[in-house]
Amino acid sequence: MPEAAIRHDWTREEVAALFALPFNELLHRAHGVHRQHHDPNAVQVSTLLSIKTGGCPEDCAYCPQAARYDTGVAAQKLMDTDDVLQRARAAKAAGASRFCMGAAWRGPKDRDIPKVAAIVRAVKGLGLETCATLGLLGHGHAQALKDAGLDYYNHNLDTAPEFYGEIIHTREYQDRLVTLAQVRDAGLKTCCGGIVGMGETREQRAGLLQALANLPEHPQSVPINQLVPVPGTPLGGAEPIDPFEFVRAIAVARILMPLSIVRLSAGRQQMDDAVQALCFFAGAGSIFYGEKLLTTGNPDVEADRALFRRLDLHPLEVTASMGTVHADIVDSETNSCGHGCGCSAAA
């Protein structure tokens, strides 16, 4: 097939047309794009730790960390550097090379940045790649984190611009775009995606992916999350999205952003192995692993290892150009939002 074009001018009609393709045709096209730019049998595996849990002032309708919802998630202080390092060393010893850290803030205060920077610097000193999600960033925050050795910053768009107000009222869509611009300007890599299954239409799912693909720079990592309904949140009773519709979202993301690594993120516990296999074929090249993905369940490590063996997949190996390696699947005990949402409450 022709080389996939890198575009930032996708129209809503073009994206909707991709969603409307016959399922097998869509997967064929997406897999072709995936093979052009990625090893189709390699999957990046990452570990994720909540370094500050609960008590978030935001009202994200999906998030159990919001202080206003009764979800059983207790507010905790920022972890000590030594405690984070203990988790990071264990992850590295088991084979991980990227360590992702999330904090349940609307955004860090100026006084928080030196503390987080010290944690990042210490984890980076172990030879690990670093990623953080802290919410909205203020002036100079991104540069300070970059100077400390941060590699990636996660901040998701969550959903389409026109559906955003149905899910979040305590921050504007533009606030997210401003933080992403600060991250890019500081020279950090971006991890940015969204959540599907929150009651949006297919047209609105197309809107989310259009917004991601038309950013000035495609995110290096694009997590596509399936809503995990949490009792006590406004979306606690949401009906599950059709699994094939979720696969379509993975496939369209792959076509729109050929060089990005599309991450099969939250919601994997609700997916059977066959659906996950379709997602990998459609272009998902990354997962989070461990018994928990923040406060929501995730397939356990042994199940992931078994699935990799059955599908003849292997963890992504290091290359000089990529600067990343995930040599094994390791356990990670985490406690935060669960959607990789990049809001103040998740990673």
Query: Residue 282: which of 17, 24, 2, 57 has the closest Cα?
Result: 24
Q: Which residues participate in the annotated binding site for [2Fe-2S] cluster? A: 100, 131, 191, 263
Using DSSP, state whether 50 is helix, strand or coil.
strand
- pLDDT band of residue 323 (cuts 50, 70, 90) is very low
> What token pair was written down for 185?
């300007």
Higher pLDDT, 199 or 97: 199
Q: What is the pLDDT of residues 46-92, one digit of tens each?
A: 888 899 988 888 989 998 888 888 888 878 899 999 999 998 888 77
Percent of the chain whose predicted confidence (pLDDT) is above 90: 65
Place of tokens 């042994």: 302
- pLDDT score at 110: 96
What count of other Cβ atoms lies within 10 Å of the Cβ of residue 57?
A: 13
Q: What is the pLDDT of residues 161-189, one digit of tens each?
A: 999 999 999 999 999 999 999 999 999 99
Q: Averaged over 237-244, what is the pLDDT?
A: 94
Q: What is the pLDDT of residues 127-166, one digit of tens each?
A: 988 999 999 999 999 999 999 999 999 999 999 999 999 9
Q: Residue 250: pLDDT above 90?
A: yes
Write the burial class of residue 302 (CB in 10 Å: 0-12 exposed, 13-18 middle, 19+ buried).
Answer: exposed
Q: Is 191 considered catalytic here? A: yes
> What token pair was written down for 333?
């005990």
Amino acid at 266: A
Q: Is 100 considered catalytic here? A: yes
Rounded-to-integer distance, Cα 156 and Cα 131, Å: 14
- pLDDT score at 299: 54
- pLDDT score at 327: 39
- pLDDT score at 344: 38
> What token pair was written down for 121?
């610097």
Query: Residue 69: which of 254, 229, 274 has the closest Cα?
Result: 229
Contact call for residues 100 and 124 (beta carbons, < 8 A): no
> What token pair was written down for 272?
């059977």
Active-site residue (options: 60, 192, 337, 341): 60
What count of other Cβ atoms lies within 10 Å of the Cβ of residue 343?
A: 34
Q: Is 343 considered catalytic here? A: no
C-alpha gyration radius of the chain? 18
Name the pairing type of β-strands 261-264 and 284-288.
parallel
Q: Is 337 considered catalytic here? A: no
- Enumerate domains of the chain plus CATH numbers: 12-315 (3.20.20.70)
Q: Which residues participate in the annotated binding site for [4Fe-4S] cluster? A: 56, 60, 63
Q: Residue 292: pLDDT above 80?
A: no
Contact call for residues 138 and 176 (beta carbons, < 8 A): no
List all residues 6 or more positions away from 158 whose beta carbon is below 8 Å from its beta carbon: 60, 164, 167, 168, 176, 194, 195, 208, 341, 342, 343
Q: Is 56 considered catalytic here? A: yes
Higher pLDDT, 138 or 298: 138
pTM of the model: 0.88
| Average pLDDT of the chain, as a whole number | 87
